[in-house]
Amino acid sequence: MTAMRVKAIIVAMLMAFSFAGAAALKPTQRLSDTRPKVKLDALFPTSFGQWIVDDRQPVQLVSPDQQAMLSKLYTETLSRTYVNRQTGQRIMLSVAYGGDQSDGTRAHLPELCYPAQGFQIIDRHSSSLATATHSIPVQRMFAKLGGRLEPITYWVVVGEQVALTGPQQKLAQLSYSLRGLIPDGTLVRVSSIDPDAEKSYVVHDAFVKELAAAVPDALKSRVVGKPGA
């Protein structure tokens, strides 16, 4: 047997072992099937702290064609406007939940969705947001469309891990795959219409802190992640 043929056999064997290993690691069980089912309209209260849903202000955060795409990617979406009873400040909340956070269905981040609708991203940076239980890594974004200036705060939870970027989402996905699990995921976005981004982020933080406290403990990790995860 020639050296070239031996080499070809070895390469073929390595490829076979690689495919077998990939198949063995392929997750088979959805994490969502092992946990309480998510119903976003029940998970997110219509009233908490000083905030209450303002039904007079319907939220149109995405264009119809973008909404059609989101409906294919996510199991459920929720959009609401909340108003502060004391100050009159308004916050738009948008949540997208997917039972399958695999490669083709991972959460699509706002820095991709907003420009697709014609927005200009003026600023984008990472930050953190303190809740009563732990600090959440978040992404801040300041978007502009004509005269509309929209400060945005968002984060993504994969399973129980907060993952801000595409690579972080992939790593979180792989960590569950090694346990044979397909993770679910939640994209939470809060925004407001205000030319003063820094002032808005302070309001966003206060809103999220009160919201996190109002979410049932059994489901809290689906919204803000698990401390230390």
Q: Is residue 7 situated within a structural domain? A: no
Total domain count for the chain? 1
How confident is the model over 183-223, as pLDDT tens digits?
888 899 999 999 999 999 999 999 999 999 999 888 898 89
Residue 164 maps to a domain? yes
Q: Which pLDDT tens digit goes with each residue over 50-84?
A: 999 998 765 555 454 555 555 556 678 899 999 99
| Domain, as residue range, for 218 | 28-224
Confidence of residue 16 (pLDDT cuts 50, 70, 90): very low
Q: CB burial class (10 A; 0-12, 13-18, 19+) of residue 173?
A: buried
Query: How far is the first Cα of the chain from the last one, in angstroms, to the nearest whole number?
Result: 53
Average pLDDT, the chain: 81
- CATH code for the domain of 180: 3.40.1000
Question: Is there a domain that residue 8 lies in?
Answer: no
Partners of residue 52 on adjacent β-strands: 47, 83
**So what's the pLDDT on residue 129?**
95
Residue 55, domain member (yes or no): yes
Whether the full predicted model's pTM is greater than 0.75, yes or no, is yes
Query: Is 20 a member of any domain?
Result: no
Kindly write down the DSSP assignment for every residue of 181-214, as one continuous string. EE--EEEEEEE---S-HHHHHHHHHHHHHHHHHH
Residue 84 within any structural domain of the chain: yes
For the chain, percent of residues with pLDDT exceeding 90: 47
Note whether residue 96 is domain-resident.
Answer: yes
Kindly indicate the confidence band of residue 155, based on its pLDDT and cuts at 50, 70 and 90.
very high
Q: Answer yes or no: is 9 within a domain.
A: no
Query: For position 11, what pLDDT does the model report?
Result: 45
